[in-house]
Structure formats: C-alpha cells, structure tokens
Structure 1
Amino acid sequence: MGFRIFIFILFFTGTTNSIAEPFTVSNIDSLDTQLKSQNGLELANTLIEILEYYQNINVDSSVFYATKLITLSDSLKYTDGILAGNASLINADFTKGAYYSGIERGLPLVNQNYEEEGYHLANLFLAVGNCYGSLGLYRSGIEYYLRAREIFAPLNSFEKLNTVANNLGALYIRLGNFESALEVFSNMNIAAGSKALRVTTKVNFGFIYFGLNDLEKAENYFLDVFDFGDDAIEVRAKAISSFKLGDLYTQKKDYQQALTYFNRSLDYFSILENEAQTMNPLNGIAEVYYKTGKLDQAKEIALQSERIGEKTQTLSELNSVVSLLADIYKEQGDYKKAFEYSIKNRALNDSLNINQRNQEIQVKEAEYNFERKEEELRREQSVKLKNQRIVLSGVTSFFLISLVFIFVFYSSKKNKEKANLRLESLNKDLEETNKIKNQLFSIIAHDLRNPLSSLYGLVTLLEMKVADKKELERLIPELVSQFKHTSTLLNNLLNWSKSQMQGYKIVPTKFDVNELVRTNIELLSHRFKEKEISVVIKDENSLSVFADKNMIDLVILNLLSNALKYCDKKDEVTIYSESKPDFITFSVKDTGTGIPENKIGLLFTSSFYSTNGTRNEAGTGLGLMLCKEFIEKNGGKIWVESDFGQGTTFHFTLPVTDYKLDS
C-alpha cells in the first residue's frame, strides 16, 4: 500500500499579520465594499487581504482577484502586489494539479534580486515548493521550503513558519526520511497554529510513527483526528486516517477492524467526491479478503478499483491492484489471467518510471527555457544600449530639426484617418440599419398580416353563414395559435424598437430571479401541459440579482417560450443556476430538437434566424436578439450550447451587486 498521495501540504493559511483575527464572511463583505472607494496602493493592499481569505475557499475568486491585483500592481510598480498576486495564481495552479504551469509562472520571479525579501516573496517560494513537491521532485521542493523559512523567520510569522515546517516534514516523509520529519514536526508550535494545521500535523505524525513501525503511537495520532469537525480539510484528514488505520490493523492481522476503517475511509472520500482516492481503501479491502481466503470477494473489489484506476489514470494505485489481481487469479488457478495481469503490472511499472523521468525532464526544460530567455534578454539589452550610444547624438539633432514638420504632417494625417474611419463606421451602421429595416418590414408584412387575413376569412364565413360547427371547431384553435404568436411578436417588436431608440431606461434593483421564473412557468403552464412537457426548477431557493426586473422578466419569458416551441411530448425543460462571488449563471435546458452546428452563430444577430417549432409554430428570431440586448445592458452575457437532435441550453449571467459601481 502506497501513501504518496495522502501527505498533507498546506498553503496560504493565515494572514499577513500574525496576530490578526480569522477572516469571516462579514470581514470579506466589508473589504469588498472598500474596493469601490479605493485606488492606488490602498486598493492593492485591500486586494491582497481579500486574496488571503479566498486561498483555501474558492479558486475562481482567488484567480479573479489575483489577476486584478497583478494588473494594478504592474501599473504602480508595486513589488509586493506583483508577488502576492503571482503566488496566489501559483497556488491556484497547485490546487488544479497544473504543477508545471505553477513552476513556469514562479521561476522568473524567484530568480530576481529584490531590495527587501519580505512576506510575499517567502509566500512565492512556498508556492513553488508545493508544485515541485507534488511532482515528486522532493529535493527541489525542500530547497524552496528552506528558502521560504529563511525569509519568514525574522518576520515572526509563526503561522507561516508552521506551514513551511508542515510541508517540509511532509516531503521528508515522502522521501522515507522519518527521523528528519519527526525532528521538523517536533519543533513546530502546533498549539498556536490554525485548526487546519493541527489536524494535518496529527495525520502526518501518524504517518511518521507508522513509517518508524511504532504502531501504537501511529494509531493514537490517527484516532485523534476524529475529534475534529466536518470542514473539507477535516473530512479529508478523516478519510486518510481511516485508510491508514485499515492499513495498520491489516498489519496487526486484525482484519475485522481493518475492514471497518477501510469502509469508513470510502464513505469520507465519497463525501469529498474524490473517486481516484477511493482506490486506496478499495485496494485495502481487496487485500484483506485475499489474506482471509475470500478470493471471489477480493476479485470483485479489486476489479472495481481497477475500473476506477483505468478511468482516472491513477497509475500508482492501479499498479498495486493489478499486482493483487495477478496473485488472486494465480491462487484461483486461472493462470492465463494471472499471466495477463503480470504483464500489465510490468507495463505499469515501466510507465511509472517513465512518468517520473518525464516530470523531471519537463521541469528541467522549464528551468532551461527561463534561463535561456533571461540570457537572450540580457544580450538584446546590451546590443540595444551600444547602438543607442552610437546614434544618440545624430538622432538628437535630426529630431529637433524634424519635430515641427512631423507634428504638422502627423496631425493632418491623423485627422484624415479619423474622418475615414468615422465615415466607414457610419456606412456600416447605415447598411446594418437598412438590413434590419427591410427585415422588420418583411416580418410586419408576413407575420402580422397572415393572422389578420385568417381572422377576416373567419368573420366572412360567419357573416355568410356558410361554415358549420365542425368547420368552426377546426379553424378556431389554429386562429388562436396564430394570435398567440402575433401577440408575442408585437410585444417583442415594441420592446426591441424602444431599446433601439434609447427609450428603454434601465432601472436596476435587487430582486429574486427565481420568483420571475416561477411566474413565467405559471403563465405558460397550459401550453406546457398541452404539449405534455415537464418543467423542473433545480434550485427553488431565493436567488438575488441586481438588474432591471422588467427586462429580465421578458428575457425569461422568451427563453421559456423558445424551449416550449422546440420541445414535444415527453420532453423536459430544466432551469438551474450556479452562484459565483460576483454573478449568478442561469441556464434553461431542453431536450428538444436542438440547433444545427452551422446555424448557432446566427442566433442573437440581426440575421433574424428562426425555424418552425415541433408543431409548426412560427418564429422570427427577434426574441433572442432582444434577450442579448437586455442581458448585456444589465452587465451580463448570454450564450448557447446545443447538440442537434438532443437539445439546447441557453445560459446567461447577471450580477449580484451593482456592476457599474464594481467596474
């Protein structure tokens, strides 16, 4: 049983002030409010504080604020902001498993000379060390951790020193150097650390004593983990401790206890939705069944683990279970299968060795590329400086003589270019307007005139008393359908025309968008029932957005009507949402006819692309143009995904706060 993937590495726990209070939701809301009234260095420092909050909570928010911080800090030439933002991006790479990207991002920064080596530079070394360690390049990781510790020490940043020590000790464990790991962890001030640090050190102490074969101490440390709560990092600690206790009791030949803890580990990993790591307890269960002679049960569990390994490409654990399957088949007398799995085991061993070498080569390439770029840059700067000295005197005099002439010529040329560009823009606008005008006249002439002609025909038949009751029953539903379409079309035409003439004033407010969804579903309920289409709202909870309620009401009505149009009997329309810190994404998904791939680009444009619905319902494409117009006016965006013949999903975003103030 390997334990490589289970060692805990921590990053960015704590704040820049070692005595600061832990962040809470109210703290972060207060900082978010400050952003709207700050600029310059004050804004950069607030962004750094916000990043400290998001590091272990939300990767997307962390990347968003880090990018914002780097852009601002570059313009201010603010070194701390540049370092803090990049360290945060490297930690995002680390969280996503993009370790090479993290190293490439960090190398240009860690190799620079700084006037002061402060907190944020140390964080950068720590982040790069995490990436090296996770690639299995433990010695390089240790070098970066030692460098981070060297900078943190005089800053009295005890929380950070604990984090570095924890990660350093974890790498010593991975190297099998349990004595050095024990020395590192024993010198840590764990009691003064965060809860996350306390629970991870318990796990790592368990690994150390397990490695030193002191099973009693290892057992006590792993059992202590179950006294903690149910945060994500604590559940992960319990999952790992349960697995290692199963391993420990297997070693003690207490197989019943081993199975209890392996199954408990499976439950915890299921909570974390980490399918790859379920292989370790599954392999443990299979091994217990194998050792106790229950070969069929052992084979069933091992094959389940193998399927997960093939799917997730978790080669180390896959190799373990393949080796076990070879032994199981051999024990059952199925020598052909045993031979096949022995071959597979050898191939996986080769792959693991090749992967390790490839990882080392890729990192070396990243380091070489950085050094080569640095050398090329230095050479280019040297040549440029030499050339500048030669031509400086001649250029200066020529520049002074030519200055007036250039200024006059440039101004004239610039004005002419501006006039040409303006004329070209006006021509394009005129062509587009003319195209829209012709299309609108076509819509009015066709889509509005047809229902009126039908009505005229019906009234004429009634007046002449030539239509019997059966004929009227056939004509009236068709007429009703045409007028429903006409009513929607008129509504869209009026709203779109009003928006084009800038007569539609946006009045954004806070409101529950799910309330609008329910209202519009109720409005269209008889049409959904008529076509036998089911409608599902995935999240019934209140979802507040900041937008013009009337505009969004019309958007939702159009998207639901669109889904209704292209669905038929037994189809389903699903409305779901995803919340982010600054916006909410809403989706209207249907299992209808879908859109051909070559036609998707025509939606939301002035091409007025539309096709008839499943029951020959007519359309103009104007509704989707209106949706795009209104969503974008409210600071959101709208897009579509479709699989022709399978269904379509329209997504749109809306801000949760005043997007104009945010921007």
Structure 2
Amino acid sequence: MGLFYKALFTCIVFIGVITGTTYSQQKDIDSLTHILSKKSINDTNKVNLLNQIAFDYYGVNISQLKAYASQALQLSLKLKFSNGEAFAYKNIGLGYMGSNANPLALIYFDKSLAIFKKLGDSVNSAKILNNMGYYYGRIKDNEQELNYLLQAFGQIKRSNKIAIKATILGNIGNSYEAANKPDSALAYYQRAMADFVSTKQNNIPISAYCNLVSAHLKLNKLNQATYYANKMMNILAGPVNYRPKDLAMVYLTLGQLSFQLKNYDKSRGYFNRSLNIGNQIGNPETITGVYHGYYLIDSVKGNYLSALKNYHQYVRLNDSLMNVTKSRVLSLYEVKSDLQKRADENERLKIEQEKNQAIIIHQNTTEIILIVGLVIIAIGLIYLISINKQVKHQSTIINRQNKILESNNLVKDKLFSVISHDLRSPITQVIGLLNLWEQGEMKHHEMTELTPIVKNRIIQTLDLLDNLLIWSNNQLQGFKFKALPFELDKVINNIIQHLKPIITQKALNVENMVEPGTIVRADSEMIKIVLRNLISNAIKFTPANGSIKVKSKFENGFVVIAVEDTGIGIKEKDMAKIFSFTSHTTLGTDDEKGTGMGLKICKDFIDLNNGNIRMESKENEGSTFYVSIPQNIMGL
C-alpha cells in the first residue's frame, strides 16, 4: 500500500511541475496582453510589448508567436524602430524553428543578426548566433552548430552577462558531446559551471549539473558523475519548478548513471519518471533514450523477450528521429539551393528592368526636348507600350520562379518519402545480428547462413546511396555534360562483370549482344549510370534461371540500346509514373529493395544527352527498356 501512495504522489508532482510551469507562463502572457489592450498609442513601447508577448509564446503556441511578432515587425517598420524590427525578426525565426525546424528560421535570424550588429549590440548578436547554432544542432549538423556557437561566445566573452556566457558555454559542450567528444564537452561544462558559481547565486540551472553528470558518465568517471548527481538531487528536492524538458533529461541521465552503478531497480525507476514526463510533453529524444535504457536493463537481467521488445521500440523511435532529421536536412538544402537560383534569376531580371527603365527615362527626356508633332509622340507611345510589356513579362518570370521554388519543396517531400527507411534498415539488421552473436544467442552455422543475406542488403543500400548522391549533386551543383566517343560493348561488359555475384546467385543468363566495336558519342559516365540502373533492375525483377539480353541498333540517326528481361513486368497502372518521384518502390523476386530514384535519374541523364528513354512491359512476361542516343559520330 505504501508503494502505491508513493507512486501516486510522484505522478501528482510530475503533473504539477508540468502544468505549473505552463500555467505560470500563461499567467505572464495574460498579464501582458491585458496591458496591451489598454495601449492606444502606436509607439516603441508597444513594439517592445508585442515582442515580449511573442517571445513568451515560444514553446506554448507557435501561431500566436508569429502573429504578435508580425504585428511588432509592421509597427517597427512604420516607426523606423530598428531595435524592435530586429527582435521581431528574431521571434519570427524562433517560430519557424519551432515549426519542425523550418529552414526559413535561418533567413529571419540572418536579418535580425544584421540589424543587431549594425546597432553594435553584441549581447543580442550572441543570442541570435546561439539560436542559429541550436537550429543546426536540431538537424544534426554538428560542424555548423559548433561554428555558430563559437561565434556566439566570441561576441559575448568580453561582456559582463555571466549567465548568458555560461549558457552558451554549456551549449558548446552539448555540441561536443553530440559529436562524441566527451573530453572537450567536459571542459566547456566546467567553464560554464565556474561562471555560474562566480555569480554567487543559488539558482544554478539544473541542466548545468546534468551536463557534468553526462560527460563524466561517458568518460566512465563514475565517482565524479555520482558527486554531481547528488548535487542535482539536492536541487530537485528544493521548491523551484523546472522546465519539464530539463526534468526529463535529468531523470534519463540519473537512470543511465544508476545502470552503470549496477543499481538496476533504481535505474528503471528513473527511466519510468523520464518516460512519464517525455510522454506528457511529447519529447521523442527522451522517450527513445528511455527505451534504450529498458533494453539494457532487461538484457543484463536475462529477460530477453522484454529486451527484444524494448530494442524494437528503440529502433523504431530512433528511425523516426533520423527520418525527421533527414527531412530537415533535405528541406534546408533544397530551400538554400532554390533561393540561390531564384536570387540569381531575380538579379538578372533586376538588371534588365534597370536597363529598360533607363530606356524609358531616356525616351521621355527625348520626347520632352524633341516634341515636334503627333507622329513622334505616337512613335514614343508605341515604344513605351512595348517596353512595359517586356517589364510585365519579366514580372511573370519572377512569379514563375516563386512557383518553381514551391514545386521544388514538394519534390523534396516526395524524395524523402521514398528513401526514409531504406538507408537505416540494413544497418539495424547488422546491429541486431551482432547483438545476438555477442550474447551467444546465435550459432556459428546460423551466422554463416544469415551473413550473405545481410551482405546483399548492404550492397543494395550502397546502390541507393550512390543514386542519392548522384541526384543530390545534379540538383545542388548540376552535372557538366562532356560528350566523348567510347565503345558501348566494353561498358556493358564491365557493368555485367560488376554485377556477376548477384547474377550467379539468381542463376540468370545475362547476354551482351552489342556488336564489338560499337562506338557511341555521349557523356560516358552518365550512360554508365543509366545502363547500370537498367541492368540492375532487370536482375532484380527477373526470377531465378531467367534471361536478360542487352542489344543495340542504329535507327534514324540514333543508337538505340535495349535492355530486355523475362521478369515479372510492370503493372499497367504504374507505367505512367515510372520515370518520376511519384512512383513507389517494388520488391524484387528475391525481396530486393528498390531505391525509387534510379529510373528518374536515368531519364534526367538521357535528357542531358539529347536522347530519350521508353519502355515496353507486360505483367508476368517481362520488360524492355529502350535508350535512344543521337548517333553524332562526326569527328570520331
């Protein structure tokens, strides 16, 4: 009965901590909005009030944050109040960062930083740089994260704002710890703690102690980790309400320390507390860490069924976190690439518009000086109408560029939906296999049987990675087309030789029927990628003992290459979308996974070579892909 009441009391405390913090924050917001409602004059004080309300909504209500920050921005621009404008941009950036790390956050942070630097405000410049570092931390780009955090510290290190300086030092330590450099992390955590202590205040953030426990734990310095853990527990016993996110991390860290000290029951208790708070606030990182802790405890105690369940839950959650991170990275670089293209195009159009405007001004001046009659005026009017049409046409192009930017973001989403799990799944299988082998749960002959299967999955994953890198390079930098003559039959022989292990495994008959000495003038690297994808697909979708033939012929000024198989064919409903990102991947005859990207890359590369690609297929009878390249043999 005593344990029941203790658990009930703990639950009530957790709920009180979580709701109490939110209630206090909402109470502050309500107080400020009440003051705002009585503010009738649009002045700089109102701007500051709007910005404060917007900031208080961070972590509570993103839409309200953006709404108040937008009001502050409009009023700041009207009043030409630079300081208010900078804070408004910062708040809008925080809103976008809170919206699943939207890369537009960086654009608004850049605007805010430029104003604060112009105003000579090093403290707020440091805060903005810290926010930018935090953004890159969310997308797991530790190099950029550390770069901005070190810049932030450079701005603040000569300031007397000790608490801000200590916070940034702690964030630098977090970045080093995330990069698996606990020695460097510990050095910055100790500097941060020294700064906090120098303020001679009792309200040292609990996260500062948690950081020291975590770093010492990763360095296997259990005595020091226990020392700071005891200090942390003393703070928890006090009257201060801490942020739920900080509490969840504190209990997760205490659970990890208790596990290392082999106090497994105590460790599970801390993990339970961390999971309770993590579920309350929806913190996936904390929840993932808890399930990994459960898995370790169950493994040590020999409860393998429970350990396996918790491990699967941990892998699922970790995969989800990785997918979110990949989505954020793809979104960031798609937006950066498209914004740069759009900026370049807009700059070109701006120059054209300036030239046209100069022509218009010159024409107007000429008309004023040389007004000699209606005929000259009519000619001038006709010319001006023509120029205005050009200006309108250029405005239309700018609008089209904006639509292309939106379309590219959609392509990013489709790309992410295709590759979201394929890169991690084989690695997860290898980890699971090695865990079973390490724990002695798998015999040598079982390991021997499973190794070729896992190896094939890794090879398939490398193919996916190759295609992804090829596509990314094409999108972000563009390929340089270079047409040179090469012998087609030798290229095909090399591809077949490279794929020989998979061909042998499936007992396929693959024939290169291209005439020796057949010369093609095209970009050889692009054609190799195209043919490798087509032949790999034919192998993948052709059952054991089937056949694949590669042929070529000259037809109407084109070299036509055909890859013909006796495989499972393509469903009629999928044919229309086979060369786009809207197509879904299909398992091969031996459950080989596809990338969902190969045929799209093939089409892009054949287009760059001024050729075309098409297919013929019947379900359960086979497929033939035709690649046509201009013969263009002059100069060979």
Normalised by the size of structure 2, how large is the TM-score? 0.42
Normalised by the size of structure 1, how large is the TM-score? 0.41
